Chain A
């Protein structure tokens, strides 16, 4: 056994393991910090809520400034209290040192516009909270870091006689976060365990036994072994971190419960004392026994675990990449063909930026619940897993009740898929059929002015398709459209083309076949011209008629040109946005929407960006499956022929 090789493999294991460990720590660190911040914020919110309640109950004779000073004296962790009355932008009380010598109330100075704006926003959110549908936080907070002392600024609304009057701003000194120092020892212990495991495996020469037994390459086996060990160790790390997280969580909950008790016992009324940061009385904070608060805590934990899962997966992939020797091979390939890689570099970069990045971003987006409203939230808060896909693929409500009637639910994914398939199949069939017919006609040397017909028949293809689409839309107009006028000339009633599902489908189909047949015609014409005339001659001598010649010579010879053209045309038609959007616009009532126009509607009319992204990924998957399937089929037919 090559000692050098083991050594480098072990080294790369150590490096990867250490990197993974740091990634774990780093990844969970912000979850830990968020937990800490959330509990500190909850404490501050409870405090400011109770103070705002006191403000609301103040009698006319008492001075707000005295109350503020009093409240500050009672709570040692409160650095500053400022009370802003919104009308007139007046500071009515403040314990800020710079404000103490002023006479209250005074107008908010110009440089404090952000405070005023925040108060305004809180007022808006407060009003909405009363309606109770949109959950905008009605209490805002911000971490201020002055000279490494952690200060939390909390702004909460206060009311007088039930009416929003102004806001109360507290600067609260938070308890410092306890930091853990045992990470290095953890890392060391786990590493030693891992290396010992690996050593054991190597020593017992399980390697060789399995190697002969399973008939796999050594590299593969090695990477499997290393991955398993890595997985075990990673799970150990996660387990430990999750335990720590849980412990901190329960400490936080206890601290909050305790604080609430002290505030409740200290006040005259034990009834609703504060509102939570979404303005719903007591719902979140005062019902700790109830699942709401715990649930939000549990979501944090789930988020952490999801993060771990992603980390482990990523690390495993890396590990396999390195240990199986793929990394070394890739490096070697780069080294050997450096010049070639340099040449394709610009194209690769372009693809990366213009194709793969947007594609990857779209896929990522599809796992969130991003809409117009929460775009600016961090990604982890928008992550919802497979919910969008479940809702798209799991929605079987093909019918819906409306006003006592049962009607087809045209927004359902499967209806749209059905229409899309009908659309694609009928388009390709008609376009290929028409193209074939015209190509056969034009290939006949007895036709005069062939060049002229060829040019004319390519024209529909040469005109930008949205112009053609709009022209066709006009032609299908109920009163002024030329088609209905021709129908009327023959004494029939005009047809309301966009009024029913089938006729509306026909409008799109006609337009798209008009747009599609020239391409097919050109392709087939090319194919026809490459068929040698000898074959036809031989067939004629053998006594084959025209149909037999067509069936046994023309069609098989056309296959190599036709199949790629059909594959292309299916993909184009499947995503033919312009024609549907411009001609029938999915009329009536969205029944003729195809998948791509439906995705557009969801994204840019309903503003549900993530749902639209998931829709697009589903479309991509359908086309991918089709492409692979089609490829296989055409290969099989090629072999047969």
Chain B
């Protein structure tokens, strides 16, 4: 008897929960389109605001967009896992570095060439469009960009050096190794930061559209020699640089000039008065240092149920109105060129300095093979800086290793 009563209750409970589900279902007749992003803080608030505005704009169409914040560490893997299996978001935001991998893996990104009119693309600088293009095909609209620039302590440095000769002169005067003071600090043994010199020298990591590793080139070697001169002869750089070391040196007033990106600004202490300027011109070449730029894009997922509406949505997100909100409230560097003429943007020296840097920056390649480069390149740079291998030998080892890994991936393709 008792048992039967238990069953009855279980069945009743199940029925009630079923009914609840159907009630909820009936309420949400509006079709939900999901947008994944990894924003937090101000960026998140600003983004949610513009999505809300869009939903108001399309009210009555029977659908709405819902922003969903995904933790950054699992973000890329979630996309790789969900979308090819027909799940996941309709639209998502991510930097261009994973673009190639997702396209080669297939079934992840919708190409948008067919929707995009040339006129609509005029609002973006060409370099940002190229970051979203893979195999001559456009896969997303650029949303914002980030790259390192020169950040300096105003108390120690009066005006931003325009050339590397000036930079080294200033830096030498401010360096006192015994006291742990350095004129210049940046992660020179990190290939990402070295790219600023590499690109100025015309160096490259890959050839033939990312299919061939090209670490040992004359240009690459020259760029390394140039960097080593700063470290070994001019002695203006600290040893074993890491992002935390550089931030703490800058905050202690022990590093006068650093190369870093907007991501560092939040960590600079209140007591430090800083200013930002584009990286200097390399005196020997007459060419400016050109760091790699990473571009965040808005992509339409292959599994999206309404791709045309999704395109309309991402088009809206790159409009001038939205760019202003994202730039002003979200503190982003918007991809929409026209927004930079607005007064509020012009009055923001930090944003304007990064925008100046964008003119010389080079978009980081979006080849799938890029992910294979980092680890061997880091090993090579560390060996070179420690002096345990010649630049040529170290780069050759990296090149061999990358070529092997490319082949391992190509075989499975």
Contact = CB atoms under 8 A, between A and B. Distances in A.
B114 A498 contact: no
Contacts of A479: 177, 180, 238-240
Contact of A372 (B104, B386, B411): B104
A587 B388 CA distance: 12
Nearest to A485: B180
Nearest to A108: B114
Interface in B54-72: none
A214 to B, nearest CB: 49
Given A121-B137, A123-B136, A587-B382, 5 more contacts: A117-B114, A131-B208, A477-B240, A498-B382, A608-B409
B368 interface: yes
7 contacts: A134-B413, A369-B412, A372-B101, A372-B409, A477-B245, A479-B180, A601-B375
Interface stretch (B4-12, B157-165, B390-398): B390-398
A411 B408 CA distance: 15
Interface of B: 80, 84, 101, 104-107, 110-111, 113-115, 134-137, 177, 180, 208-209, 211-212, 238-240, 244-245, 307, 368, 371-372, 374-375, 379, 382-383, 386, 388, 390, 392-393, 396-397, 400-401, 405-406, 408-413
Contact of A403 (B134, B244, B396, B409): B396
A222 B372 CA distance: 56
A134 B180 CA distance: 50
Given A117-B114, A376-B105, A371 B412 contact: yes
Given A372-B104, A376-B105, A589-B383, A606 B239 contact: no
A392 to B, nearest CB: 13
Nearest to A384: B412
A218 interface: no
Contacts of B245: 477, 480
Given A89-B114, A479-B180, A607-B372, A373 B137 contact: no
A498 to B, nearest CB: 7
3 tightest A-B contacts by CB?
A124-B135, A403-B393, A478-B239
Interface string A129-171: 0010111100000000000000000000000000000000000
B374 A128 contact: no
Interface in A478-515: 478-480, 496, 498-499
Interface string A442-467: 00000000000000000000000000
Given A131-B211, A373-B412, A480 B180 contact: yes
A113 B114 contact: yes
A527 interface: no
A375 interface: yes
A413 B134 CA distance: 36
A96 interface: no
Contacts of B393: 402-403, 405
Contacts of A374: 105, 412-413
Contacts of B406: 133
Interface in A89-123: 89, 110, 113, 116-117, 120-121, 123
Interface of A: 89, 110, 113, 116-117, 120-121, 123-124, 127-128, 131, 133-136, 369-376, 382, 402-403, 405, 411, 474, 477-480, 496, 498-499, 587-590, 601, 605-608, 611
Given A480-B180, A589-B382, A605-B374, A124 B211 contact: no
A588 B400 CA distance: 18
B379 A590 contact: yes
Contacts of B392: 403
Nearest to A112: B114
Nearest to A497: B240
A300 B400 CA distance: 34
B410 A133 contact: yes
A565 B382 CA distance: 38
A45 to B, nearest CB: 19
A133 B211 contact: yes
A373 B409 contact: yes
A388 to B, nearest CB: 11
A110 B212 CA distance: 38
B310 to A, nearest CB: 13
Given A402-B396, A477-B245, A479-B180, A499 B386 contact: yes
A79 to B, nearest CB: 25
Given A120-B137, A123-B136, A131 B209 contact: yes
B40 to A, nearest CB: 21
A373 B413 contact: yes
Most B CB contacts (10 A, CB to CB) among A110, A382, A606 go to A606
A371 B408 contact: yes
A477 B248 CA distance: 14
A606 B240 contact: no
B187 to A, nearest CB: 14
Contacts of A372: 80, 101, 104-105, 368, 371, 409
Contacts of B383: 588-589
Given A116-B114, A588-B388, A376 B84 contact: yes
B106 A376 contact: yes
Contacts of A608: 405, 408-409
Contacts of B110: 117
Contact of B107 (A136, A376, A477): A376
B135 A127 contact: yes
B401 to A, nearest CB: 8
A395 B401 CA distance: 16
B260 to A, nearest CB: 18
A587 B393 CA distance: 17
Contacts of A587: 382
B120 to A, nearest CB: 16
Contacts of A117: 110-111, 113-114
Contacts of A120: 111, 113, 135-137
A402 B397 contact: yes
Contacts of B211: 128, 131, 133-134
A571 to B, nearest CB: 26
Contacts of A375: 80, 84, 105
B371 A607 contact: yes
A356 to B, nearest CB: 20
A605 B369 CA distance: 10
B407 to A, nearest CB: 8
A369 B405 CA distance: 13
Contacts of B239: 477-479
B238 A371 contact: no
A141 B315 CA distance: 32
Most buried by A among B396, B406, B412: B412
